[in-house]
Chains A and B, each alone.
Chain A
């Protein structure tokens, strides 16, 4: 049973991005699904191969922007028309053109905050601990190496079998990731 295996997964290190993509493709063909790749810079093809296409960030940012817009216009309407109306030369209390800049700024502010906080939250960051850091060579993932981790929760995961598969994919090294 995989549940008894005290490892988080198996990690293979690759020297260049094409080997990584090739490896992901082969493993996906074999039926592996629970894996993640780690690259020193964003590579669209890598997440495409992993089957990651869309994310929630855009939708959240739209909601954030909408909330900011409503907040901006609502704040100005409530303070200028309801709570503290001042008649300036008979001009309308709800002075729409004059309220545009602040409404716009609030929209941008809320949307930008949502983009950053939403991205971090969806990514589960800040993360004080993650098993992949237990592999000493993983420090190179932020420099020049590409890593692929097959997680032990994958139904096909087998300590010996998966290691043999990974070793056949021309990696620099294969290591167990202690949980």
Chain B
């Protein structure tokens, strides 16, 4: 950087000690339930019941209740699958990749972002299963010796997806839990209720902070970060293979894996901001999630957003450069066809509005930044709609063209998974420390060890 670095403020507020950090973060869990939490949890739970109702109808009547048809065989289910799994990626990026790069500012947000990953992956994983038609036979996807004498087709990207998503969910859960162990011990020792001591005690597994344990713990944690880093890149690459390996114009492109991974991180950071902005205020955590964190997240969004914009430009360029009439028709159909409003809205929300992030004044203006993050949340959903529906509805043969629109059950299921996501998140905030306490301690000046013989 040629310009002198601007003062972005500290990554932890002044005047904190081991005690204040521990007590302040643990207090969110150990204090009385607040009214605002009850309200938020109540609303989320109502949304979750909408999901359960939609799924109940789906199980009884089958996927005919959705808007999908021929030619548009993938609709809201796959749009939402890709949207949710993309959101999850920011959590792993923050917890693993930024750890390897020694970006200590990640410490305040990694626990929360990992939880977000876990819940987003849970929401994502539901969609392909619900989409199966006979969801109760989902275990046919797994390679197990069966009476039919058959094995899954390992040459199919859909099979790769099963492995990628289930590995991702497992490794994310492991990473999250390992990070929690020392903090669970803190909660065990700080909890004033007997039930709390027993439950946190069981979960902490007798962690006592022994130096020998820390030594192995740090190695394991670092290795998990090293393993998660290629994993997170592979997951969205595999998701993009679901499309790119097919021959549908608008899907069959080599740019898909990097463009999907960048889009995933973009969407994920937008969601982290959407959630942390109200949370830090409500629980008074501005000393731990400072303006510097907000600013950095906005910068990551800007950078990944530009990669996504490059992806859009390349799609248009390759349609012309390849000379393939189906590809160029696809682009013309996106820009001027029946779904042109959605494409225009996509460009507006996902490319034009995020350009505001170039300005420091926008990155430090909380309400405006929240609005930009919301715009990106919408934009990334529209992106998947454009890629999936608009590519499918008019392919090679005009005689087999069709139109698609989601039904009330499509919308209900989507809103319902938002309810599931928020319900899990509210429970997490109430029951587990949302900021890694032990890692916050390491950032304090008193954690510094003096030089030998000083």
Contacts of A46 in B (CB 8 A): 211, 214
Shortest beta-carbon distance from B179 to chain A in Å: 11
Stretch at the interface among B16-24, B36-44, B323-331: B16-24
Does A152 have its Cβ within 8 Å of any Cβ on chain B? no
Give the Cβ gap from A111 to chain B, nearest Cβ, in Å. 5
| Contact between chains at B219 and A79 (CB < 8 Å) | no
Pair B447/A57 contact, Cβ less than 8 Å: no
Q: Measured between alpha carbons, how far is A99 from B154 in the docked complex, in Å?
A: 7
B216 at the interface (CB under 8 A from A): yes
Question: Please, which residue of chain A has its CB at the minimum distance from the CB of B18?
Answer: A144
Q: Known: A46-B211, A47-B211. Contact between A119 and B438, CB under 8 A? A: no
> Judging by beta carbons under 8 Å apart, are B170 and A119 in contact?
no
Tell me the complex Cα distance, A16–B18, Å.
10
Contact between A120 and B205 (Cβ–Cβ < 8 Å)?
yes
CB distance from A80 to the nearest CB of B (A): 6
**Is A105 interfacial (CB-CB < 8 Å)?**
yes
Docked-complex contact A142 and B227, CB < 8 angstroms: no
Q: Assuming the A-B contacts A75-B143, A108-B167, are A57 and B220 also in contact, with contact meaning beta carbons closer than 8 angstroms in the complex?
A: yes
Is chain A's interface secondary structure helix, strand, loop, or mixed overall? helix
Taking CB atoms and an 8 Å cut-off, the chain B residues in 1-32 that contact chain A are 17-19, 22
Indicate whether A119 sits within 8 Å of B219 (C-beta atoms), given known contacts A112-B224, A130-B208, A144-B19: yes
Q: Roughly how many angstroms separate A86 CA and B213 CA in the complex, as a whole number? A: 50
Given known pairs A41-B439, A118-B220, A122-B216, the reply for A108 and B151 (CB within 8 Å) is no
- CB-CB < 8 A to A118: which residues of B? 220
- Is B427 an interface position by the 8 A CB rule? no
Task: Judge whether A57 and B219 touch: CB under 8 Å.
Answer: yes
Any A CB within 8 A of the CB of B442: yes
Please state if B143 and A125 are interface contacts (CB–CB under 8 Å). no
Give Cα distance in the complex from A91 to B218, angstroms: 46
Instruction: Report the minimal beta-carbon distance from B218 to chain A, rounded to whole angstroms.
Output: 5
Q: Verify if A132 is at the interface (C-beta below 8 Å from B).
A: yes
B453 to chain A, nearest CB (A): 10
Flag whether B399 is at the interface (Cβ < 8 A). no
Partner of B231, one of A108, A127, A129: A108
Residues 1-37 of chain A, each 1 if its beta carbon lies under 8 Å from chain B, else 0: 0000000000000001110010000000000000011
By the criterion CB–CB under 8 Å, are A57 and B216 in contact?
Answer: yes
Q: Are A127 and B219 in contact (CB under 8 A)?
A: no
Determine if B154 and A37 form an interchain contact, defined as CB atoms under 8 angstroms apart. no
Shortest Cβ distance from A65 into B: residue: B227
CA separation between A82 and B239, bound complex, in Å? 29
Known contacts A84-B150, A133-B208; decide if A115 and B220 are in contact (CB<8 Å): yes
B382 at the interface (CB under 8 A from A): no
CB of A12 to closest CB in B, whole Å = 14
Q: CB distance A123 to B224 under 8 Å?
A: no
Number of interface residues of A (CB under 8 A): 67
Q: How far is it, in angstroms, between the C-alpha of A104 and the C-alpha of B19 when the chains are bound?
A: 43
Interface assignment of B159: CB less than 8 Å from any CB of chain A:
yes
A-B contacts at CB below 8 angstroms, number? 195
Give every chain B residue within 8 A of A140 (Cβ-Cβ): 189
Cα A56 to Cα B178 with chains together (Å): 17
CB distance from A98 to the nearest CB of B (A): 4
* Inter-chain contact A141/B209, CB cutoff 8 Å: yes
Partner of B217, one of A42, A76, A86: A42
A37/B171 contact (C-beta < 8 A), A42-B217, A84-B151 known: no
Q: Given A36-B212, A143-B19 in contact, is the A76-B441 Cβ separation under 8 Å?
A: no
- A84-B151, A88-B155 in contact; A108/B171 too (CB < 8 A)? yes
Given the interface contacts A39-B211, A50-B212, A126-B205, does A142 sit within 8 Å of B182 by beta carbon? Answer: yes
Q: Does A173 contact B (CB under 8 A)?
A: no
Contact of A38 among B143, B208, B450 (CB under 8 A): B208
How many positions in chain B have a CB within 8 Å of any CB in the partner chain?
A: 63
Question: Inside 8 A of A95's CB, which chain B residues have their CB?
Answer: 154-155
Contacts of B174 in A (CB 8 A): 112-113, 115-116
B397 is an interface residue with CB less than 8 A from chain A: no
List the B residue with the shortest CB-CB distance to A35: B211
Chain B 194-238 near chain A by CB (<8 Å), digits 1 or 0: 000000000001111111111111111001100110110010001
Interface residues of B in 404-430 (CB under 8 A from A): none
Q: Of all chain B residues, which has the CB nearest A45?
A: B449
Given contacts A102-B160, A109-B167, A126-B205, is CB(A76)–CB(B154) below 8 Å?
yes
Nearest A-chain residue to B178, judged by Cβ: A116
- Cβ proximity bits A80-101 to B, threshold 8 Å, 1 near / 0 not: 1001101010000001001101
Interface 1/0 per residue, B434-445 and A, CB below 8 Å:
000011011000
> Please, which residues of chain B bring their CB within 8 A of the CB of A104?
230, 234
Q: Is A55 an interface residue (CB 8 A)?
A: yes
Closest chain B residue to A99 by CB distance? B154
B151 and A116 form a contact (CB under 8 A): no
Cα separation A113 to B175 with both chains bound (whole Å): 10
Q: Is A106 an interface residue (CB 8 A)?
A: yes
Q: Is B163 an interface residue (CB 8 A)?
A: yes
Q: A80–B219 contact, CB under 8 A?
A: no
Minimum C-beta distance from B211 to chain A (A): 4
Interface: A128 (CB within 8 A)? yes
In the assembled complex, A172 has its CB within 8 A of some CB on chain B? no
Beyond A42-B442, A111-B227, whether A17 also contacts B447 by CB under 8 A is: yes
Minimum Cβ distance to chain B for residue A177 (Å)? 12
A119 to chain B: closest residue by CB: B220
What are 26 A-B interface contacts by the 8 Å CB criterion? A37-B211, A41-B438, A42-B215, A42-B217, A44-B218, A52-B211, A58-B219, A61-B227, A83-B151, A95-B155, A101-B163, A104-B234, A105-B164, A106-B167, A109-B170, A113-B170, A115-B224, A118-B220, A123-B210, A123-B213, A125-B205, A125-B207, A126-B206, A129-B206, A142-B188, A143-B186
